[in-house]
Structure 1
Amino acid sequence: MSVWQGVEEPAPQPLGAAGWTRALLRGAVLGTVTYGCLLLLLLVRLVERPLCGLNRPLTPHITQFVCRAALVILGIRLTVRGRPMQMKGAVVANHASWLDIFTLNAVQRIYFVAKAEVAGWAGIGWLARATGTVFIARRGREAKAQKELFEARLRAGHKLLFFPEGTSTDGLRVLPFKSTLFEAFYTHGLEHVMHIQPVSVVYRAPEGADRRFYGWWGEMDFAPHLLKVLAARRQGAVEIVFHDPVNVDDFPGRKALAAHCEAAVRGPLAGLAED
């Protein structure tokens, strides 16, 4: 998966004693809630999996609670426009940061589609696997198996969330959507029953901070970016915009569907990069 290098990364700022204190306190609370609930989720999954198989009637509620709590702990204000669709289908959104995991999970029960490397990331990989993330590898020989996995999860009623840009950005723009990720919606009759809902994620930086404050791109390491967010004296906000879902069957192919979703997602972010 490519890494977006579109703009220069902001220079790191010293945290100071107050910043380190905030980071340690918030980090301790966030870690306790996250990994405490992860343990609970794993225990519930021991019962849920043999009884329900692919279906997860209980554990997604735990994931959603953690993500809502995380935004409260961090102090990031959340607003929502529109409503998550109730029909069977998938969700596509722009990708700005690791924070997307919390913001998008806080407002709906979804399962992320992530690159295979994420499964090996310390801490995050455990969380991703436990919460039902689908991992994909960019290798042609695995394409058939991945399509079959997508189909099984979609037919089980799971709402899979894709990031069609293929990489994260500074949060001020939407990159062209890769239409290949939409191919799974046009197999074995799925196009006749599937709906796709475009979703825009719009971050607002803390007052006085760089407008790209929450963006995570290029060669940025996770730990320093996490520390910066934890240490912020004032936090900003995030707005989630749910656009009207569309029938896959209404589009002649993946390129037309990808173009429609990209235009919808781009709308609320139009002009931010030029302001």
Structure 2
Amino acid sequence: MSDWRSDRPALRAIGAAGWARAAVKGIAMALLVYGGLILLLILRQIERPLCGLARPVTPFITQGVCRGALAILGLRVVTEGRPMQVPGAVVANHGSWLDIFTLNAVQRVYFVSKSEVAGWPGIGWLARATGTVFINRRGSEALVQQRLFEERLRAGHRLLFFPEGTSTDTLRVLPFKSTLFAAFFTHGLEHALHIQPVTVTYSAPEREDPRFYGWWGDMDFGSHLVKLLAAPRQGRVRITFHTPVPADGFAGRKGLAARCEALVREAFPPEPVG
């Protein structure tokens, strides 16, 4: 049986109608995303000197753009539960670059991403402008990153982590890595924070591969985006908000990570074998 990481969905011919859909939707999304980015950058010039790290206005622009992008794409979003109102962070399973849009559409958060994303054409620029926290996977950077997380959390930013450390084919949840959870146990921060686990579940369009929305390994972003834009129909994504977990209810990061992983798995469909 092949490893899911090396198995790829078969590519279908797009056809003239598909290319037309991709062009129309692609132009609309580009105008929305980069138009929103320009507005965000202008308003951020006012926010920064007045509010410092706080962003009382611009996260609403990011959320509106993400909602609009999903509407253009035609992906239906279903939510269960509610985003927490208390201070803290969010952890979720990670299946696709689409998670950035779907999770931002239903709540105002700041993503934590690997440092390589900062240099990606187009995407890196967007990520930096919207306040993404970039992390370096080298162990020598752990303390620096922990201080950065603490600074952002104390500023009231709701950081969103993907504890699996990588994206998947959307059909499984990988074991949560506990390293990033250490940021919640510094200088008494655990007594003020709750962590909300969130389950993201994609349902492919009818007659499409169940992994339709998955984006993993060395899959090319451009071709994946075109495939989604060209599709004649879309599926849906279900976002399940679980009850927030108090960080100080656990002795350390490993127990907290295990509990969050268990909650995310509870709302996830049975995983395929292999």
TM normalised by structure 2 equals 0.97
Give the deviation of 1:272 after TM superposition: 4.3
Report the AA paired with residue 201 of structure 2.
V
Runs of 4+ in 1 over 2 A off after TM superposition: 4-7
> 1:25-72 CA distances to partner (integer Å, 9 max, x unpaired)?
000000000000100000000110111000000000000000000110
> 5 Å matches for 1:206-225?
206-225=205-224
- Aligned residue number for residue 26 of structure 1: 25
- Which range is displaced more, 11-20 or 194-203? 11-20
Q: Deviations over 1:149-172 (max 9, x none)?
A: 100100011000000000000101
Separation in 1, partners of 2:135, 2:250: 25
Give 1:271's aligned amino acid: P
Q: How much does 1:5 deviate?
A: 5.5
CA distance in 1, matches of 2:194, 2:227: 38
Q: 2:199 matched to which residue of 1?
A: 200
Q: Does 1:13 align with 2:9?
A: no
3-state SS, counterpart of residue 91 of structure 1 = strand
- Counterpart mapping for 1:144-159 below 5 A: 144-159=143-158
* Partner secondary structure for residue 269 of structure 1: coil
Contact residue 81 and residue 239 of structure 1 kept, 8 A = yes
Q: Aligned-residue CA RMSD in angstroms?
A: 1.1
Matched-pair identity in %:
67
Tell me the amino acid that sits aligned with residue 233 of structure 1.
P
Task: Compute the displacement of 1:11 (Å).
Answer: 2.0
Q: CA deviation at 1:236?
A: 0.4
- Determine the structure 2 residue equivalent to 1:63: 62
CA contact (8 A) 1:197 1:246 kept: yes
Whole-angstrom distance in 1 between the partners of 2:192 and 2:268:
30
Query: Given the alignment of the two structures, is residue 261 of structure 1 paired with residue 260 of structure 2, yes or no?
Result: yes
Offset, 1:144: 1.7
1:174: which partner in 2? 173
Aligned-residue offset at 1:204: 0.5
Once the two structures are overlaid, the 10-residue window that deviates more, 137-146 or 150-159, is: 137-146
Structure 2 spans left out of the alignment, 5+ residues = none
SS state at 1:170 partner: coil
Matched residue, 2:78? 79
* Residue identity opposite 1:237 in structure 2: R
Q: For 1:219 and 1:119, locate their aligned partners in 2 and report how far apart those are by CA, in whole Å.
A: 17
Residues in 2 aligned to 1:205 and 1:247: alpha-carbon distance in whole angstroms: 34
Partner of 1:92: 91
In structure 1, the residue corresponding to 2:25 is in which secondary structure? helix
Residue 231 of structure 1: aligned partner: 230
One-letter amino acid of the structure 1 residue matched with residue 142 of structure 2: A
For 2:120 and 2:38, the matched residues in 1 are separated by 18
| Structure 1 residues not aligned, in runs of 5+ | none
Q: Tell me, what secondary structure is at the counterpart of 2:21?
A: helix
Distance 2:139 2:79 in 1: 38
> Distance between the aligned counterparts of 2:6 and 2:86, measured in 1?
38
Give the deviation of 1:145 after TM superposition.
1.5
Q: When the two structures are superposed, what TM-score results if normalisation uses the length of structure 1?
A: 0.97
Q: What is the distance in 2 between the residues matched to 1:12 and 1:189?
A: 51
Name the CA distance, whole Å, in 2 between partners of 1:60 and 1:71. Answer: 17
Q: For 1:162, give the aligned amino acid.
A: F
In the TM superposition, residue 6 of structure 1 has moved relative to its aligned partner by 3.0
Could you tell me which residue of structure 2 aligns to residue 38 of structure 1?
37
Number of residue pairs matched by the alignment: 271
The Cα shift of 1:73 comes to 0.2
Deviation of 1:273 after TM superposition, in Å, equals: 2.6
The aligned counterpart of 1:183 is 182
User: Residue 125 of structure 2 corresponds to which residue in structure 1?
Assistant: 126
8 Å contact 1:5–1:218 — kept in the other structure? no
Amino acid at match of 1:114: S
